[in-house]
Amino acid sequence: MISFAEDITLGEVLDLPEIANEVILNLSEQLMSLHKRICWYEERLKLVAKEDARVRLLRTIPGVGAVTASAIIASIGDGHQFRNGREFAAWLSLTPANKSSGGKEKLGRITKMGDQYLRQLLVVGMTSLVRQTRSHPERASKWLTSLLERKRARVATVAMANKTARIVWAVLTRNEPYSPRAAV
């Protein structure tokens, strides 16, 4: 889409009425301007992320990048308002709804009632990990590989986001970088 807008702003004219070409040129210029601003903010965010020790700690977790780490820090700070990682994951609505009755335990889907933005960022990061796992299974964690053998990719992605939220809480509250051996 950006390359199309770039071509239009550089003078490419489509086989359309003049008014349509003017509208497309105007929209393309707006899109290019927004793209430049987004790139500027991304670079600025990366610079700020390098300066914040907590963001650097969170970026040691696989699937957590500068945007996700910065958003988590902006939302929860050091994470001490949560008693444990499960409480943080539940706050994000990454834990299944409990629909137990009559002594029979039944867990449902995630409720999606928590912080939607942070939940989406974690799920997108874990989607990336799932894709990497499929293309390079030798690099992936054994836990994720075995989970993907048993569950659909989307279910595994949300389960991984749940686990990552717990790891995020542990990293923040202990003020230590992520260590795969400690998290297993």
Same domain for 114 and 134, yes or no, is yes
Same domain for 120 and 160, yes or no, is yes
Tell me which of 17, 33, 51 is where a domain ends: 51
pTM, two decimal places: 0.73
Q: CA-CA distance, 69 to 171, in Å (whole number)?
A: 11
| 135: containing domain | 53-183
Q: Tokens 């989307």 identify what position?
A: 154
Q: How many CA atoms lie within 13 A of 143 on its CB side?
A: 10
Alpha helix segments (H runs only) across the chain: 2-9, 18-51, 53-58, 66-76, 85-91, 116-135, 142-150, 153-174, 180-183
* Domain total of the chain: 2
Q: Which amino acid is at 57?
A: L
Please tell me the predicted confidence (pLDDT) of residue 134.
80
Give the chain's residues under pLDDT 50: 182-184
Please tell me the predicted confidence (pLDDT) of residue 168.
96
Q: CA-CA distance, 127 to 153, in Å (whole number)?
A: 8
Please tell me the predicted confidence (pLDDT) of residue 149.
86
Same domain for 31 and 94, yes or no, is no
Q: Tokens 């390098």 identify what position?
A: 50
Please tell me the predicted confidence (pLDDT) of residue 108.
58
Same domain for 40 and 58, yes or no, is no
